Structure 1
Amino acid sequence: HRQHNHVLRLEARKPNAEGAGEVTLDDHLRSALRKRPDRIIIGECRGAEAYTMLEAMNTGHEGSLTTIHANDPVSALTRLVTLVKQGDPTLSEDTVRSKIAAALDLVVQVQRLSDGSRRITSIEAIGDNIDGHIQHEQLFYFDKSSPDAAPAHRSCRVQPGQVRQRICEAGYVYEPGWFIDELEAA
């Protein structure tokens, strides 16, 4: 691993034979939050640490990132609700969905294809929690059967309002052309 001055790598550890010494991802995440990080990256949320990660994302640790195993972006959101409730079972599902909608901007799906390669197959913008459903719009998808027979990423031609706002708030110029296929723009 390359060393960076402002990066701290932490790994979970199982308990020893006597049952002592366990350090969970949630332990590391809580410890990391005390260090006032700008970004938090968790390799994979599989349990109660999803609650702590979501709380971190909603309390000023924007740009943070984690992965969750699921079949598609909608399933990832459903799974995240389940994982967050492991961290705090007293929260209602609607409250958890509202926290997820407030914390997430995008869900990026990576899938292993039949040839063994991994590709980004979908990018969805996350919206508000309305009537118990997290709103989402697909921005891009992986077209396995494009006209020239070569797989390609395609735009859904959606101009994502909340993503556009976040891009501008970060000081960047929003270009509507980012969300139009190059072939269509030419």
Structure 2
Amino acid sequence: MVIRCGRRDTMPMIVAPPMATRAAAADPSVTPLQPIVPLLRDSSLTEIMVNGPDAVYVERDGKVLLTDRQFDDENHLLGAISALVATTGRRIDFSEPVLEARLPDGSRLTVVLPPVAVDGPMLTIRKFAASPYGIDDLIRFGSLSLEAAAFLRASVLARANLLISGGSSSGKTTLLNALATCIPEDERIVTIEEAAELRLPQGHVCRLECIQAGEKTMTLRQLVRHAVRMRPDRLIVGEVRGGEALDMLQAMNTGHDGAMSTIHANSPRDALSRMETLVLMAGLDLPVRAIRQQLRGALNLLVHVGRLADGRRKVLSIAELTGFDDQTIALQELFVSEATGGAVPGRTRLTPTGIRPQLMDKIYQRGIEVPELSRLFPKNSAAIADSGRRPTTAAQTDGGFPTRDRRQN
């Protein structure tokens, strides 16, 4: 696609190639979607935002651009929305003006209709990469440093409980998916999401999604409760934003280690405060001290991500929960994003703070080798000896079964 100035002076415009437009028009089955077919096929776009018949925006490389795509009128736009919703097995209903669904290719669809949408029907499509990114991809993109990536990978293998925080469209789900790919192949993974977005390469994955069953919708909280009874080795909640936070914490505190989730927050400390609020939304009158003790016992690491001014998404901080003192959860930052000071302004790099993570002892106790961190965080032989636990290995019997249950380590 060629970028040129659009009708609005403040925004650039994306112009679709004529060949793509003719190909879309030649297929009667996509006639209602004709204006946005080239955008749906463009793998470089991460978001398609239709604010009205003549206001179609996209996001590319973190920047929002106005396109030259237009619908004839609101009826044409409604026809396109109906066509998209129909692919999910549902239909638009003005009595329920807000609809969220997952398209067949995994994209997330959000539709808002009048009267909630004051200026007419709107739709937003969050697109995802054809092949999910892994840890090595994030290193290549500059989202993670080599040392931070090695530490996070080792933490996942050591079955640490992680919470990823960040603002909207900051890369939380992308990082969650990348970290989940580090889970060993022989573990049973259960994922719970409002709209299934995670795509894991492991073979033993059970995906749960909040969908409407008749007149009733299964909530995240109900699915978390069911997931705990499915014998998961790993529990992954796409995002906590309600009372399910309490159920997830209880699962983490009752032997379901190695769990991961995301939360909307502006900083690691804000993420803990928001978790407290979400737990209270469960409807139980729990004292704040008890909630904070649950948080301290459940979580090991907080990973904060953000989107920079130039649109790049990066990990900004990795912090460890280290204790509970005077009703306050103690946090220590292990990696922080710092300006590189190079020729390109705004460049940052995730660098270690020099504080040795408490989690490193658990990593070494389990026999996990981390060459990238051996100089930065050398083995603490005294702590390993005092633990009274032998390093675990991936040894298996001749029949291919583990010689012992890893959860007993």
Q: TM-score range by the shorter chain?
A: 0.7 to 0.9
Find the counterpart in structure 1 of residue 157 from structure 2. none
Matches within 5 A, 1:1-186: 1=199, 4-14=202-212, 20-143=215-338, 145-149=339-343, 150-161=347-358, 163-173=359-369, 175=373, 177-178=375-376
Structure 1 unaligned spans of 5+? 181-186
RMSD: 2.1
Question: Is the CA contact 1:70–1:79 (under 8 Å) kept in the aligned structure 2?
Answer: yes
TM-score, normalization by structure 2: 0.40
Distance in 2, Cα, partners of 1:77 & 1:176: 30
Shift of 1:2: 6.0
Shift of 1:107: 0.1
Question: Is the CA contact 2:246–2:279 (under 8 Å) kept in the aligned structure 1?
Answer: yes
- The Cα offsets for residues 65-100 of structure 1, whole Å up to 9 and x where unpaired, read as 010100000000110111112225221111110111
Question: Is the CA contact 1:139–1:179 (under 8 Å) kept in the aligned structure 2?
Answer: no
- The Cα offsets for residues 10-47 of structure 1, whole Å up to 9 and x where unpaired, read as 1112576xxx2210111111111111101111110000
Distance in 2, Cα, partners of 1:165 & 1:86: 35
User: Identity of paired residues, percent?
Assistant: 37
Structure 2 unaligned spans of 5+? 1-198, 379-409
Change in Cα spacing, 1:113 to 1:179, as seen in structure 2 (3 Å) is farther
Change in Cα spacing, 1:132 to 1:21, as seen in structure 2 (3 Å) is same
Find the counterpart in structure 1 of residue 61 from structure 2. none
TM-score, normalization by structure 1: 0.85
Distance in 2, Cα, partners of 1:112 & 1:2: 24
Distance in 1, Cα, partners of 2:376 & 2:244: 34
- Give the secondary structure class of the aligned counterpart of 1:47: coil
Question: Is the CA contact 2:323–2:330 (under 8 Å) kept in the aligned structure 1?
Answer: yes
Change in Cα spacing, 1:178 to 1:21, as seen in structure 2 (3 Å) is farther
Question: Is the CA contact 2:360–2:377 (under 8 Å) kept in the aligned structure 1?
Answer: no
- Paired residues in the alignment total 175
- Give the secondary structure class of the aligned counterpart of 2:295: helix
Question: Is the CA contact 1:126–1:134 (under 8 Å) kept in the aligned structure 2?
Answer: yes
Question: Is the CA contact 2:292–2:329 (under 8 Å) kept in the aligned structure 1?
Answer: yes
Question: Is the CA contact 1:155–1:179 (under 8 Å) kept in the aligned structure 2?
Answer: no
Question: Is the CA contact 2:293–2:324 (under 8 Å) kept in the aligned structure 1?
Answer: yes
Distance in 2, Cα, partners of 1:156 & 1:2: 32
Shift of 1:129: 1.5
